[in-house]
Amino acid sequence: MKNTTKIALQVFIMIFFIGFPVTSVDAERYLPWVMEKLVGKEAPEFTVKDLSGKNVSLSSFKGKPILLNFWATWCPYCRKERPYLNSLYHEYKDRGLVIITVSTDKSAKMVRRYAKKVPMDMVVLHDTNNKAAETYNIGS
């Protein structure tokens, strides 16, 4: 594996498995070990819109290796990982890898503007109400 690939995978694992409390009322939903219940199970389904407004379901990629990445345009770590994810996608797309990036930004317009500036050849989705993020224990 190239160094870039290793770094990208480490960043993804770190971001994916760390949950952050969104509210103090139900912060227990965002504890990292809650995700341990999903290990070895089918990934929870969600449907969100892509940047053109089309609904996209996780299940539409069933049978393919998927790297699922939650991010936001305002997040400095997310901005830093974009080129690594793009590089990883180009390195493994011929082997069937699908990288699905799910933005948790409030504004789809902001995500589209960011996507024009920063190359993102992978699937880019926008989770307007953060339901997909909550399903995966992702918060900010």
- Where in the sequence numbering do the catalytic residues fall? 78
Q: Where are the alpha helices (DSSP H) in 1-140?
A: 3-17, 76-92, 108-117, 131-135
DSSP 8-state class, residue 93: G
d(CA 118, CA 21): 29
Phi, psi of 52 (to 5 degrees): -95, 0
